[in-house]
Chain A
Amino acid sequence: MMTEIQRLELKAAEMRLHIVRMMGPNKAHHFGGSLSAADLVTAIYFHAMRYDPKDPAWPKRDRFIMSKGHSVPAQYAALAMLGVFPIEELTTLKRLGTRLQGHPAMHYTPGVEGCTGSLGQGLSYANGMAIAGRLHKLDYHVYCLIGDGEMHEGQVWEAMMTTPRYCLTNVTAIVDQNGLKAMDATSCGKQLEPLAKRWQAFGWLTREVDGHNMEQVCRALDWAKRQSKAPSAIIAHTVKGKGVSFLENQAPFHNAPITPEQYDTAIAELEAHLAELRKQFQAIKEVA
Chain B
Amino acid sequence: MELFETRMVYGDALADLGQMRPDIVVLDADLYKSTRTVVFAQKFPDRFFDMGIAEQDMLSTAAGLAASGFIPYANSFALFITARCYDQIRIQIAYPALPVRICGSSAGLTQGPDGASHQSLEDISLMRGLPNMTVIVPADDVETRQATMALADWPGPAYLRLGRYPTPRLFGADYRFQVGKNTTLRDGKDIVIFATGHMTAKALQAADLLAREHVDARVVNVSTIKPLDRVGVLQAVTGVGHVFTVEEHNIIGGLGSAVAEVLAEESAVPLTRLGVRDQFGESGLADELLEKHGLQPQGIYSSIMSTLRAPRK
**Residues of A near any B CB (own CB < 8 A):** 105-107, 113-118, 120-122, 124-133, 135-136, 154-155, 158-159, 161-162, 165-166
Contacts and interface: CB of A to CB of B under 8 A. Distances in A.
A117 B64 CA distance: 15
A128 B91 contact: no
B64 A125 contact: yes
A115 B95 contact: yes
B91 A121 contact: yes
Interface string B62-75: 11111111101000
A128 B96 contact: no
Contacts of A128: 60-68, 72
19 contacts: A105-B95, A107-B96, A114-B63, A114-B64, A117-B91, A121-B56, A124-B56, A124-B59, A127-B64, A128-B64, A131-B49, A132-B64, A135-B47, A135-B70, A155-B56, A155-B57, A159-B61, A162-B51, A162-B54
Given A107-B96, A116-B91, A136 B61 contact: no
Given A124-B58, A127-B57, 19 more contacts: A105-B95, A107-B97, A114-B63, A114-B64, A115-B63, A115-B91, A126-B64, A128-B68, A129-B68, A131-B25, A132-B65, A132-B68, A132-B69, A135-B46, A155-B56, A158-B54, A158-B56, A159-B61, A166-B49
B26 to A, nearest CB: 12
Given A118-B87, A159-B57, A131 B51 contact: no
B96 A129 contact: no
B46 A159 contact: no
A158 B56 CA distance: 8
B52 interface: yes
A158 B64 CA distance: 15
Contacts of B25: 131, 135
A156 to B, nearest CB: 9
B302 interface: no
Contacts of B90: 118
A131 B70 CA distance: 10
Interface string B87-111: 1101110011100000000000000
Contacts of A120: 56
B51 A115 contact: no
Interface in B14-49: 25, 46-47, 49
A124 B89 CA distance: 13
B99 to A, nearest CB: 13
Contacts of A117: 91
A125 B96 CA distance: 13
B60 A155 contact: yes
B68 A133 contact: yes
Nearest to A140: B68
Contacts of A154: 56
B68 to A, nearest CB: 3
B166 to A, nearest CB: 35
A154 B56 CA distance: 9
Given A106-B96, A128-B60, A158-B54, A118 B91 contact: yes
A114 B92 contact: yes
Contact of B60 (A113, A124, A130, A132): A124
A241 to B, nearest CB: 26
A107 B90 CA distance: 14
Contacts of A126: 64
A114 B63 CA distance: 8
A254 B56 CA distance: 26
A77 B87 CA distance: 27
B60 A125 contact: yes
A121 B88 contact: yes
A91 B87 CA distance: 29
Contact of A162 (B59, B61, B69, B96): B61
The 7 A-B pairs with the shortest beta carbon distances in the complex, nearest first, are: A128-B64, A132-B68, A124-B60, A158-B57, A128-B61, A158-B54, A125-B64
Contacts of B64: 114, 124-132
A127 to B, nearest CB: 5
Given A132-B70, A158-B56, A162-B54, A127 B61 contact: yes
Contacts of A116: 91-92
A114 B67 contact: yes
B41 to A, nearest CB: 15
A105 B60 contact: no
Given A124-B61, A161-B54, A162-B54, A129 B91 contact: no
A162 B60 CA distance: 12
A118 B88 CA distance: 8
A165 B68 CA distance: 20
B57 A136 contact: no
A118 B90 CA distance: 10
A68 B52 CA distance: 24
B51 A114 contact: no
Nearest to B88: A121
Nearest to A121: B60
B101 to A, nearest CB: 14
A248 to B, nearest CB: 30
B57 to A, nearest CB: 4
A179 B61 CA distance: 28
Contacts of B97: 107
A161 B50 CA distance: 12
